[in-house]
Structure formats: structure tokens, C-alpha cells
Chains A and B, each alone.
Chain A
Amino acid sequence: MLFSSITFLYWFLPLVVALYFIIPRPRGSLLWRNLLLFVASIVFYAWGEPLYVLVMIAQSLVGWASGLLIDRYRGKPVVRAILVISLVIELSSLLFFKYTDFFINNLNTLFHSQLGLLALALPLGISFYTFQILSYTIDLYRGKVSVQKNPLVFATYVTLFAQLIAGPIVRYSMVEEQLTSRTHSLAGFVKGVRRFALGLGKKVLLANTFGQLVVLTQAELHGGGEQSVLFALLFLVGFSLQIYFDFSGYSDMAIGLGHMFGFTFPENFNYPYISRSLTEFWRRWHMTMSFWFRDYVYISLGGNRVGKFRHLLNILIVWMVTGFWHGAGWNFILWGLYMAIFLILEKYFLQRLLEKIPRFFSHIYLVIFIMLSWILFESSSLAQAQELFLTLFGFGSSGLAGIASLYYLKSYIVLIVVAVIGCTPLPARAIGWFRDKTGLLGKRTLTILEPLFIAAILLVVTSFLVDGSFNPFIYFRF
């Protein structure tokens, strides 16, 4: 089920919220509320994947049972074997569903064989919930978290619908206490509403609208239509904005829903496009994933406490795995490699320069190279990526611009300007400035404006969902 759907907003959510707060808490126990969240999460997941819900439950059981065994045999040699077996089972599931056809395809190409593809649908969110289970198992092994003996509480953590499909990747350590003891308040609930509405608006009004631009520019660029520089640029701007508002909007909704039910999830985005280097970008973009790879892969490989060559190799490995995590295709591996190369260049050569030059130029550097990376990321094949690169640099068949690209530039220009401003902290700062500088009058104005703004977002979003059918979600496929 998508957050940005009529089914979720006007059937699932009101029912779950109502039941959640109606359910009594005998002696402060969250048992019944956790049970409701678990059942609701199963329904939420099964709505899109009725069979694969069994895969998720099976992986949860493996994670929970491994935890019990690790705790029971702590200090004994067998515990390492338990950890390895658990990791192998969890990762095998991810590899099987996500990467089998990729490997078969490559084997067929390499050995001219005719192995049949499995053509399995990818279980929604498998990359996210697998990583969450792994974080629990590894952290438990490392002694950073306590064992969770209650299978319901553990299953609630893994399957919690608020962050199940597309993150943030919530580590067990982050919500360990909240699973059994969390507080609910009007302030917390409203904080969640505010964040959820903001994310919903970002997703439906901005990301989906830019998604339409991406689809039509792709159709023109790769379908024998106008292959102009302006169209390639529109595609890049459109996709850069779509993926940011799509994913950060979804994270906002997840964090907002968490607040409504008393959870505090980690932040996932921090205005990444205002970064001055790719190194900084990855500290601001999909932060829970970057930190996951840092803590569980990069540091496990030795991080930077090794020789120079090994350190470079570690960076390359981590980023190729990061790319591969995003999708089973060579374009994703190359995208990871692209990132690794730039991160290495920045670490050893560019970082000092980027810090010295005026901010404007380092921003331009970041925007250009992150946008170019999206070509690899979004292209369905390397040939398509090459075609787009050539068109962008003037080697397309339609020159600088044509009727279609000029029309769509004019059609989207207002939204592009609004969205670019929305990628920066300016709107938040403006509200803060207004609140601080206008005193009581400003506070009273905001008292009225905030609920009105949220009502407007909800109604306009509803109008888009009722009337439009274009509602993809990029990170679902990961």
C-alpha cells in the first residue's frame, strides 16, 4: 500500500489511528497497541504483496531466533557461527529475490548459455527490512543492544508499516526502548501530522508532477522524438527533483507517522542539494543507508585504519555494494563506482579546493556531478545512458532546443523554481524569521496559518489522488 493513496489516507490510516488510541493500556502495557500495529502492518504489506508477506515473516523469525541463540551462547565460539548463519540466511533471501536474474543474465552472456530467468517479482521493501534485521543481529552480537525475547515486539519492529517499505532504515538500537515504552502526546501527534502532511505534499504535488516530466522527456529522448540539449537538461532537472521529493517526502511521511504512534525515527535527509561536495552530499542524502554501510560494511572492512591501498579498496567495495543495493544492474554498479571515484578524488585532492573556492562554485560542482550521476542511476541500460550523455552535450539529433522542450520548460518553470527553493532551508528559515521577528502577532498568525496550510495540502493532495493516476514511487524497486 502506498502512503500516497486514497486507500491508505482515507481507509487504512483513520481506522488504525482510531483503533490505536481507543485500545486501552492496562498498567501502561503496550502489548495490545503493538499487536494492532503488527496486524495493521501485515495488512499494509499484504495489500501489495499478499504472498511475500510470508517471506517477511520468515525473515523476521530467523532474525528473532538468531537473537535468542546469540544471547544464549554469548561468549562461546558457536555464537560466531550463529551470526554467520543468520546473515547468510537473511542475505540469501535478498540475493535470491533481487539478484538471481541479474546473475543468470550475466552467465548467459558470458558463456552463451540459455539458462531461464526466474522472473520473480521483488518483494516490496526487502532491501530495507533485511538491513533492519541485520542491524539487530550484528548489534546484538557486538553487545550494543539487548536481546528481544518477545517475538511480537520484534515482529512489530521489522514490519512496522510506517517505515517498512522504504525506510528510513531504523536500526533496532534506535527504537529498542520505544517498542516497549513510549509516550504519546498531542504535541507529538501534531508534530507527526505536520511532518506527514509536508511529506505527502512533497510526494504527490512535486515528485509525481516532476515524474510526469521525466516520463515524457524519456519518451521523447529515447523514442525517436526531440533529442535536444534542453530536453536532456529538463530530464536531468526533473529527475533530480523527482527523486529528492519522492524519497525525502516518503521519509517525512514515515517519520511523521512514527511521531503519531509515539516513535522517533532517525532523519534521512538534510537538504542534500545544498552540499558543496559529494562527500557532504552523502552525509545529507539517505543518511540512514549511508551510515548503515559505514557502520556495518566500511568499518567491518577496516575503514580508514588500514594502509592507503586497502583504504581505497574499502571505499570502492562499499560504494559498489551501495550501487548494487540500489538495483540489480550494471548501471547501478557503475553509479556506485562513479561515486567512489569522486569520493576518493575529493578525499585526496579536491576537498581542500572545494572548501577554499566561493560557495557558489562548489555548489555548482556538486549540482553538476550529482545530476550527471543520475543519468547512470535512471537509465535502463548503458546504451540509454550513453545516448542521454551525448544528447546533453549537443550530439543529439535536435540541436539545442525544439518545440517540445521549449513548451515543457515554460510549462514547468514555476514548479522548478518553487522546487529548487524547496530543496534549501530557505522556507524553514523564513517561517522561523517570521515567528521570531513578528512577536505575538506572528505567533497568532501562525496559529491560524499552520492548520490552514495543512488542510490545504491534504485537500489538494486528495484532489490529485482522486483525479490522477500517475503515482509511482522510485524507491519501491529497491
Chain B
Amino acid sequence: MDSTTTPPPLTSTSSTSAEPLVRVRDVHRLFPNVYAVKGINFDIHRGQVVGFIGANGAGKTTTMRMMATLDVPTRGQISIANEDVVQRPAQVRRLVGWMPDNYGTYANMTVFEYLDFFARAYGLKGKDRAQRVQEVMDFADLTPLADRMMNALSKGMGQRLCFGRMLLPDPEFLILDEPAAGLDPKARMEFKNLVRLLSQRGKTLFISSHILSELGEMCDTMLFIDGGKIVYHGDANELRKGSAANGTRMAIDIVVADRPEAISEWASMNPGWTVVETRRDGARLAFEADDPQSIAAALRKMIGDGLSVIDFHREERRLEDAFVDMIKDKSKA
């Protein structure tokens, strides 16, 4: 996709409206010696969960900071709910929640005091403040940690606290920069649950990561950025299919009961099959077709040829592979 043209309309979810919540138009950001963002365009509709993917230094954080009014585009325009981030930052800040990749802690402060401070700073007073802080603590499962000092929190707890802080003013649009980085599997699961809950409540989320698999499960739409330009904007499944349609081969995992080398021998004798990897109990093969009929026929032939197949499954094409293939295609083009 040409990054300087207007993006195609996004796949809309049932809760989205025609008017996009976020409009990014021809945005550039030039730092001294670094051209971080080079004319990006995209829209985000209400209620969407959008994954923002790119390698380190691709321009993710710069873009997100500009959307959160923490930085200013050198050129172009970003508007959130029709409010320009440069001209009306105060109005935009009321709509935006920002969770940076490195959540800041304060020394000598408890979890509750941290949330209470931000609630005060957002202008909440009296019972409203107490109620809001309690709601957020309950939502992010922070109540048992309320009296704990911030510097005694684990990474996962800290992320939950940062998440809670972001929700205090009840923003409509949430920007999360690498929220799952450095989390253990349990904390990752908890985080995904929180995202799901927020999505169910109609919030619009914009989540960055360089780990594609974790975003694939959470997001309605993916935005890929590379070298400061948007290189893909669309559905994750579309990306997988799109890459497969471009001649990418299907990976199939096979486990056999007897000689595993028999699979490799069989594959070498049958056209369309390639051995990717041999294992102790079988092999990983690549097959040139991805339609169910061809795969079923191949399995019948495999069994008919005397292979004792006890497990045969298609590997879900990984987004990472699709992304790498797409980048390769782009660079070739």
C-alpha cells in the first residue's frame, strides 16, 4: 500500500460508526538527523482494537506520542474525534489514555496513593474520586495491592497499575505502547483479558508491539509500519491469506508411529512436497497448495503409500512469516 495515499476503509466491526474516531493524514516527523515518520495515513473507527506493528525504530512510539499530544508532527495532521492534536491538545487529552512502554514509578508511594494522585490531577474530587479509584482498582485487580509500595511491584503488577491509571479519566481512545513487553505468560493472559473487557465496553484501542502473535489474537485490524511508512493496513487473516496466495507454501506437521525418515523419503518422491525440518518422531513439510481438497488428497495418498501417520495438522501460518514475506515483496517491488 502506498503510504501517501488515503487508506482504504477498514473492516468495520458491529460497533463501529462511519465517522472515524482517529484520522492520521500525511504525518511526518523529522528529528535532527532522523526521519522517524514519513507521511503516514490511516483511520481508526470507534470500538476497534488496532494492532500497530513494526520493528524497533520503525516509528511506532513516535506516531503514538504524536497521537497522545506528547509530540508534534513536523507536517501533516492528526485529529481525534475531530479535535486536532496540535491545535487543541487539551481537548484531545480528555479523550486519550496513554500507556507508555516504560511505566514510571514513584518512590515512597503506595499503589492507592499513585492512583489517588492521578485521579486528583484529572480533576476528580471527593466521593467521585474515591469511587473511580475503587472501580479502576477492581477492574485491574489492584485492590489486594492497594497498600503495597510501588517499588515492590512485579512487572506484571506494574503494568496493571499503569493500565488502571490510564483508565482513571475514562478515556474513549486508549493508546498502549508495547504493553505486553517483558510480561510473564500469566501476566500476558491477564493483560489480554483486560483488553478484551475494554473492547467489550466499546473502547477504541491502539496497541503497539513487535510481537505479532500476541496482537493477532486481540486485534480487529493490523497496521504495519516499516522505516516510518505504513506498509500494511488490514485484517490479520487477510495478511496470512494474502501471503499464501502469493505463492507461499503451507507448512504441515506430521508425526508417524514407526520410522520417521520414511516421511522424508516419501516427500522426496512426491512432487509438491518439501522437507522443512525432520524430527525424532516425524517431520515438518511444506506443501505447495493450501486448499482443503488438495491437502485431504495428499493425506490419503500418504496413508495409501503405507506411512503410519498418527498426527497430521496444518500449521497456522504465523503472522511473523507473513510480515517478513510482505516486507520482502515490498522491497522487491
Q: Do A and B bind each other?
A: no
Which B residues form the contact surface with A (CB < 8 A)? none
Q: Which residues of A contact B (CB under 8 A)?
A: none
